[in-house]
């Protein structure tokens, strides 16, 4: 079926607005056909994930658009990139890789993108508004923007994001439309103790469990604590978007499109109703322990997605509870964040404590893009469901998920120490 | 069993929707599970590296990768694009639900290099009928022809 294009869409497509616009619009229109959309619609913000990965193809694509005069038409932020722009030499000795990564970053900023280099863009610059139509990449950011902020985005895959930013147009379909945001499965949390609900790890483990259960369905969760913080919802969504394809969830009484379960289902019936009990949660918790208690620990990773100021505070408080407040020899502690959070941390006196602990802060990037995990590392610990999900395959390490407190105590002991929550 | 019966058993054609049109053929690598291409496929080697995935360790290069749908990271399109550039990509992809992330990687490869990976979506029953190591042929109109692999000659 042919896509109904506006006059302006047609001008972009036939090259009257330049070659970058032509290529971007051609990709947007072909994707509209893939999605089965009838027409395009406006977006007023974008977040680019295509800048994260360093590949020759990605570099060629970005430089081709930039050289053809590509400029973003809407405010556009950048996801983390392939390296820490100010301090890449610490991990990267391949000058050619670094030079290409810097070129790729320059192509995107030349096109007018804001150099935020953050995978938690909802905690920084240009946070979208409720109901705002946006084109975002990065699975955790998409999940958060849709669910917690109530902005509207589909899962913009790498390179469609910049095409949407250049044209300010996207296929009119999916989660941009009210009727497609209706909840599909009702998941009721039943029998959870207050103690378990208060655990920090409750959220990433629940996200892993629900992502595995629902796949690409829209879950409506009943019984999630209404005092859940932004960081806890971020950890939940990142895990759910990794283990499944969750791009939107509703938490009754907590997220903006779910004042009630009825509202979240738009007054329709759920396709399925499933009770989630503590034993289901503990099964997911066990599933996220890829290594036995007491195993020798090589590396701790915190900041997947990027650490917020509040998460830095929780880490410093955990460090203050251990003696000695220093990671054991042989244990690397990698903290991942963005420049904006780091700028706030630099206004505190935490830096000395973090340094003394042996924690190394890296900004703008993450362990999946910059080789900051040493090659002989076998066991990794993290508080992130996303990191725990992807690390075994991408980095060949065994992973144990634990709370920040578990991670800090384990780093000091040099061994994996997971406290059973609840 | 008549020769005709043998033919119908060995070779059949199914009509799908060409998400990215193109021609290809190859041996099927069949998964029952959705996959995230990022973290799931190594663009340098063409190996499935998601250690929780049922195709973990298998090479999809030059084969037809059959998986129900895509999930997870939106970086998947970049992985497919790079694998196309490096020549490690599957010959084609068959899904039972449209995977826009894979489609995009293939469309960009078409725009940049004129080398898309054909992607076809089949109905669920047809999708489920494909067995590992079947030989699949895909045409631009979205037809998928399935040929069973030859049986091993029994020892004489």
Q: What is the pLDDT along chain B (156 residues), one digit of tens a residue?
A: 444 444 446 899 999 999 999 999 999 999 999 998 988 999 999 999 988 899 999 999 999 999 999 876 667 889 999 999 999 999 999 999 998 889 999 999 999 999 999 999 999 999 999 999 999 999 999 999 999 987 766 665
Residue A268 has pLDDT above 90, yes or no: yes
Quick one: pLDDT at residue B156?
54
B32 in any annotated domain: yes
Q: Looking at the DSSP assignment, which residues form a beta bridge with residue A46?
A: A76, A135
> In this structure, is residue B2 part of a structural domain?
no
Query: For residue A333, is pLDDT > 50?
Result: yes
Question: pLDDT tens across A273-304, in order?
Answer: 999 999 999 999 999 988 999 999 999 999 99
In a domain, B40, yes or no: yes
Q: Which residue has the higher pLDDT, A73 or B150?
A: A73
* Chain mean position to CA B133: 11
Q: Is B4 exposed, middle or buried (0-12, 13-18, 19+ CB in 10 A)?
A: exposed
Tell me if A57 and B82 make a contact (CB, 8 A cut-off). Answer: yes
Phi-psi region of A309 (alpha: psi -120 to 50; beta: other; left: phi over 0): alpha
| Chain Cα centroid distance, residue A266 | 27
Residue B153 lies in a domain: no
Does B106 map to a domain? Answer: yes
Q: In what order do the strands lie in the sheet with A299-307?
A: A359-363, A332-337, A299-307, A379-382, A398-401
What CA–CA distances, in Å, run from A139 to A48, A244, A409?
11, 10, 30
The CATH number linked to B29 is 3.50.30.10
For this complex, say whether ipTM is above 0.90: no
Pairing of strands B119-121, A359-363: unpaired
Assess B72–A contact: CB distance below 8 Å, yes or no: yes
Is the Cβ of B69 closer than 8 Å to some Cβ of chain A? yes
> Is residue B105 situated within a structural domain?
yes
Whether B152 is covered by a domain: the verdict is no
Is pLDDT at A52 greater than 70 in this prediction?
A: yes
Strands B64-66, A40-42: pairing kind: unpaired
Mean pLDDT for A247-275 is 98
In eight-state DSSP terms, residue B53 is S
Q: How many domains does one find in chain B?
A: 1
Mean pLDDT of A224-252: 95
From B13's Cα to the closest Cα of chain A, the distance in A is 23
The pLDDT value given to residue B3 = 42
Give a three-class secondary structure readout of A119-173. CCHHHCCCCCCCCCECEECCHHHHHHHHHHHCCECCCCCCCHHHHHHHHCEEECC
**Could you give the percent of chain A with pLDDT greater than 90?**
88
Residue numbers of the domain that contains B98: 9-147
Compute the average pLDDT of residues A44-59.
Answer: 91
Nearest to A34 among B19, B84, B111 (CB): B19
Order of strands, sheet of B17-20, starting from the edge strand that comes earlier in the sequence: B11-15, B143-147, B135-138, B24-30, B64-66, B92-95, B119-121, B17-20
Helix (H, G, I), strand (E, B) or coil at A213: helix
In a domain, B107, yes or no: yes
Which pLDDT does position B2 carry in this prediction? 41
Mean pLDDT of chain A: 95
Shortest CA distance from B102: residue in chain A: A157
Q: Give the residue on B whose Cα is nearest the Cα of A57.
A: B82
| Across A123-127, average pLDDT | 88
d(CA B151, CA A38): 47
Mean pLDDT of A211-231: 95
């Amino acid at each position: 079926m042919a896509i109904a294009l506006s006059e302006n869409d047609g001008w972009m497509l036939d090259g009257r607005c330049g070659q970058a616009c032509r290529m971007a619009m051609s990709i947007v229109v072909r994707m509209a056909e893939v999605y089965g959309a009838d027409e395009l619609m406006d977006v007023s913000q974008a977040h680019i994930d295509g800048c994260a990965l360093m590949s020759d193809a990605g570099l060629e694509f970005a430089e081709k658009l930039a050289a053809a005069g590509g400029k973003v038409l809407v405010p556009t932020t950048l996801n983390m990139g392939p390296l820490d722009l100010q301090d890449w030499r610490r991990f990267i000795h391949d000058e050619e890789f670094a030079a290409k990564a810097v070129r790729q970053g320059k192509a995107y900023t030349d096109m007018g993108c804001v150099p935020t280099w953050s995978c938690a863009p909802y905690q920084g610059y240009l946070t979208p508004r409720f109901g705002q139509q946006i084109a975002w990449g990065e699975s955790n950011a998409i999940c958060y923007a849709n669910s917690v902020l109530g902005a509207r985005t589909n899962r913009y895959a790498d390179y469609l994001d910049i095409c949407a930013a250049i044209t300010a147009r996207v296929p009119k379909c999916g989660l941009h439309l009210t009727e497609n945001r209706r909840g599909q499965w009702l998941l009721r949390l039943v029998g959870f103790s207050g103690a378990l609900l208060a655990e920090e790890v409750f959220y990433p483990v629940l996200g892993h469990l629900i992502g595995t259960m629902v796949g690409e369905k829209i879950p409506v969760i009943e019984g999630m604590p209404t005092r859940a913080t932004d960081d806890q919802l971020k950890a939940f969504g990142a895990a759910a978007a990794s283990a499944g394809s969750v791009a939107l969830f509703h938490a009754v009484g907590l997220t903006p499109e779910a004042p009630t379960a009825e509202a979240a289902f738009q007054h329709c019936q759920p396709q399925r109703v499933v009770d989630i009990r503590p034993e289901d949660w503990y099964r997911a918790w066990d599933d996220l322990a890829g290594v036995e208690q007491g195993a020798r620990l090589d590396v701790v990773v915190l900041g997947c997605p990027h650490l917020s100021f509040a998460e830095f505070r929780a880490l410093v408080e955990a460090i203050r509870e251990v003696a000695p407040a220093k990671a054991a020899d042989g244990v690397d502690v990698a903290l991942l964040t963005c420049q904006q959070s780091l700028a706030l941390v630099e206004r505190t006196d935490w830096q000395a404590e973090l340094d003394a602990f042996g924690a190394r802060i890296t900004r703008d990037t993450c362990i999946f893009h910059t080789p900051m995990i040493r090659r002989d590392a076998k066991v990794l610990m993290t508080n992130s469901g996303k990191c725990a999900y992807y690390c075994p395959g991408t980095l060949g390490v065994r992973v144990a998920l634990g709370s920040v407190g578990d991670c800090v105590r384990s780093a000091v002991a040099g061994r994996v120490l997971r406290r059973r929550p609840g | 069993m008549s020769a005709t019966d043998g033919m119908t058993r060995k070779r059949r054609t199914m009509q799908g929707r060409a998400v990215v049109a193109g021609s290809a053929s190859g041996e099927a690598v069949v998964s029952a599970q959705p996959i995230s291409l990022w973290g799931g496929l190594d663009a340098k080697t063409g190996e499935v590296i998601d250690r929780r995935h049922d195709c973990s360790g298998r090479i999809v290069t030059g084969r037809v990768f059959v998986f129900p749908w895509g999930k997870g990271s939106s970086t998947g399109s970049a992985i497919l694009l790079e694998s196309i550039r490096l020549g490690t990509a599957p010959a084609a992809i068959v899904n039972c639900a449209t995977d826009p992330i894979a489609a995009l990687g293939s469309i960009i490869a078409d725009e940049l290099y004129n080398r898309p990976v054909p992607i076809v979506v089949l109905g669920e029953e047809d999708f489920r009928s494909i067995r590992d190591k079947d030989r699949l042929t895909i045409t631009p109109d979205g037809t998928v022809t399935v040929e069973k692999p030859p049986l091993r000659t029994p020892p004489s």
